[in-house]
């Protein structure tokens, strides 16, 4: 155990995949005393004993002030902030098992970018419901944050959002370091939906890539995708400025351009002709967009938001649209020329 500043905040990170581990490293590199929960004991032991998580971050050394444990009680005891990074569809069940042991009054932070199937709830809403805590304690983090780049200390930025600005500021202070800069806002809806929706556009871009289409097609999908994302988020109360910021456009660019993105990768496999089940079988990490597409289209229909690109992605996933037919010029509601 290295010498820690006596004032170092003690934080808990639940979820030891690529993002949970990378975010724990961000926090530890910023000076926090970090304990991570890994559901598999061997992963927790590897993190503590060899300072590695080789299954998710091969070749990355983790700092000494970051330890792993497989006991939720141990990880949460004394935590001053709690960060959550499990697959979105598993969040509610995980929250149910920590409801009685999350320290009172501390911020609870979602690092996730999905919505819950069935309910269509954002992760901050699932946290509020399941932990029965005030929304002022809840924050979300989103932005152009491909895990492996950040684990290599490549500089980037993110947004921390909370209904209560002081909560966002408290989280941003602990989660910022020399290579990771956190901005704050109070637009939780826009910040969260930005992270969810860019995944769907990244799947579309991946499909175009897999088919063999070039930069014009992909740029058209990204640009029209931003319109869809913005219309959707604004319809649900998000701010359009958020969608042109780090959690919207910033993350859209990073995810649509990078082969590191799992959503982009899943799309590329679909574009290459693999069926949905074959894509799932090939993915060994979480691609949230594949689970979000249904609930997002259902939410869009409740507000009358047109999402033609996302609808095309859904049809490719269900096997009713040939990936070669996916194209932004089809992504309109009318054959008549429309305003951009
Ligand atoms: N990776 C990235 O670049 C980024 C990811 N995110 C978001 O972070 C969230 C987590 O993704 P990420 O870390 O990348 O995913 P990974 O697939 O890399 O890791 C998933 C983690 O969750 C664990 N897990 C899987 N199922 C369950 C379950 N039912 N209950 C508890 N734990 C479970 C896995 O454990 P095990 O190994 O035992 O299966 C693993 O530790 C997602 O919402 C993603 O969108 C956000 C920004 C960047
Ligand atoms: O959210 C991310 C980058 O900001 C990670 O994207 P993927 O989940 O597609 O890898």
Please provide residue 171's backbone torsions phi and psi, each rounded to the nearest 5 degrees.
-70, -45
Pairwise pLDDT comparison (238 vs 4), residue with the higher score: 238
- Residue 6 confidence (pLDDT): 81
- Residue 4 confidence (pLDDT): 74
339, part of any domain = no
318-338 confidence digits (pLDDT tens): 999 999 998 766 556 666 777
Determine the atom of ligand 1 nearest the C-alpha atom of 21. Answer: 13
Give residue 254 CA to ligand 1 midpoint distance, Å.
19
- Domain end among 186, 207, 234: 186
Does residue 285's CB lie within 6 angstroms of at least one atom of ligand 1? yes
Question: Which pLDDT band, with edges at 50, 70 and 90, does 3 fall under?
Answer: low
- Domain end among 186, 211, 238: 186
- Residue 338 confidence (pLDDT): 74
Residue 152 and residue 198 share a domain: no
Does residue 128's CB lie within 6 angstroms of at least one atom of ligand 2? no
pLDDT at 130 over 90: yes
338, part of any domain = no
Q: Which residue has the tokens 């905040």?
A: 9
Residues contacting residue 125 through CB under 8 Å, at least 6 positions apart: none
337, part of any domain = no
Residue 232 and residue 206 share a domain: yes
27, part of any domain = yes
Residue 176 and residue 46 share a domain: yes
Q: Domain count of the chain?
A: 2
- Residue 330 confidence (pLDDT): 58
Does residue 111's CB lie within 6 angstroms of at least one atom of ligand 1? yes
CATH of the domain at 147: 3.40.50.720
Residue 310 and residue 177 share a domain: no
Structure tokens at 238: 């998000």
243, part of any domain = yes
288, part of any domain = yes
- What are the distances in angstroms from CA 54 to CA 38, 133, 213, 258? 13, 35, 35, 21
- Residue 334 confidence (pLDDT): 64
Contact 305, 296 (CB under 8 A): no
Residue 265 and residue 174 share a domain: no
119: number of Cβ within 10 Å: 12
Residue 174 and residue 27 share a domain: yes
According to the annotation, is 19 in a ligand binding site?
yes
CATH of the domain at 325: 1.10.1040.10
- Residue 336 confidence (pLDDT): 73
pLDDT at 20 over 70: yes
Residue 178 and residue 93 share a domain: yes
pLDDT at 340 over 90: no
Q: What radius of gyration do the chain's Cα atoms show?
A: 20
Contact 150, 178 (CB under 8 A): no
For residues 216 and 138, give the distance between their C-alpha atoms in angstroms, rounded to a whole number: 40
- DSSP states of 181-238 as a string? EEEEES-HHHHHHHHHHHHHHHHHHHHHHHHT--HHHHHHHHHHHHHHHHHHHHHTT-
According to the annotation, is 195 in a ligand binding site?
no
For residues 17 and 40, give the distance between their C-alpha atoms in angstroms, rounded to a whole number: 11
According to the annotation, is 32 in a ligand binding site?
no
Determine the atom of ligand 2 nearest the C-alpha atom of 261. Answer: 10
Residue 152 and residue 214 share a domain: no
Give residue 5 CA to ligand 2 midpoint distance, Å.
32
335, part of any domain = no
Residue 156 and residue 90 share a domain: yes
Does residue 41's CB lie within 6 angstroms of at least one atom of ligand 1? no
The domain in which residue 219 lies consists of: 193-330
- Domain end among 186, 202, 237: 186
Structure tokens at 83: 């960060």
Give residue 21 CA to ligand 1 midpoint distance, Å.
9
Give residue 253 CA to ligand 1 midpoint distance, Å.
21
According to the annotation, is 16 in a ligand binding site?
yes
321, part of any domain = yes
Does residue 88's CB lie within 6 angstroms of at least one atom of ligand 1? yes
Mean pLDDT of the residues in the chain: 95
Active site residues: 198
Residue 202 and residue 135 share a domain: no
- What are the distances in angstroms from CA 63 to CA 15, 49, 154, 171? 17, 11, 16, 20
8: number of Cβ within 10 Å: 17
Pairwise pLDDT comparison (334 vs 293), residue with the higher score: 293
Residue 199 and residue 182 share a domain: no
Residue located nearest, by CA, to atom 10 of ligand 2: 261
Mean pLDDT of 10-38: 98
Residue 235 and residue 165 share a domain: no
Determine the atom of ligand 1 nearest the C-alpha atom of 40. Answer: 38
């Amino acid at each position: 155990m290295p010498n820690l500043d006596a004032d170092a905040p003690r934080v808990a990170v639940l979820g030891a995949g690529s993002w949970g581990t990378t975010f724990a490293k961000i926090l530890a590199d910023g000076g926090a005393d970090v304990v991570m929960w890994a559901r598999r004991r061997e992963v927790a032991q590897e993190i503590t004993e060899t300072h590695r998580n080789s299954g998710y971050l091969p070749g990355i050394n983790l700092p000494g002030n970051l330890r792993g444990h497989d006991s939720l009680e141990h990880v949460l005891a004394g935590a001053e902030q709690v960060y959550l990074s499990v697959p979105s569809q598993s969040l509610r069940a995980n929250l149910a098992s920590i409801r009685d042991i999350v320290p009172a009054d501390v911020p609870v932070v979602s690092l996730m970018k999905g919505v819950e199937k069935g309910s269509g709830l954002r992760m901050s809403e699932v946290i509020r419901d399941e932990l029965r805590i005030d929304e002022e304690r809840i924050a979300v983090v989103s932005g152009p944050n491909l895990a492996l780049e950040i684990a290599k200390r490549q500089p980037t930025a993110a947004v921390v959002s909370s209904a209560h600005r002081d909560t966002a500021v408290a989280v941003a202070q602990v989660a910022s370091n020399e290579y990771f800069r956190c901005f704050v806002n109070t637009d939780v809806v826009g910040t969260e939906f930005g992270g969810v929706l860019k995944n769907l556009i990244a799947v579309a871009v991946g499909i175009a890539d897999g088919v063999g289409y070039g930069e014009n097609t992909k740029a058209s999908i990204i640009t029209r995708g931003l319109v869809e994302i913005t219309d959707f988020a604004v319809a649900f109360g998000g701010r359009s400025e958020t969608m042109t910021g780090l959690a919207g456009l910033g993350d859209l660019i990073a995810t649509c351009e990078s082969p590191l993105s799992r959503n982009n990768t899943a799309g590329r496999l679909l574009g290459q002709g693999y069926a949905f089940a074959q894509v799932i079988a090939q993915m060994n990490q979480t691609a949230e967009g594949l689970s979000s597409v249904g609930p997002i289209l259902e939410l869009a229909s409740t507000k009358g938001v047109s999402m033609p690109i996302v609808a095309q992605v859904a049809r490719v996933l269900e096997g009713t649209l040939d990936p070669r037919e996916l194209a932004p010029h089809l992504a309109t509601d009318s054959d008549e020329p429309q305003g951009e």
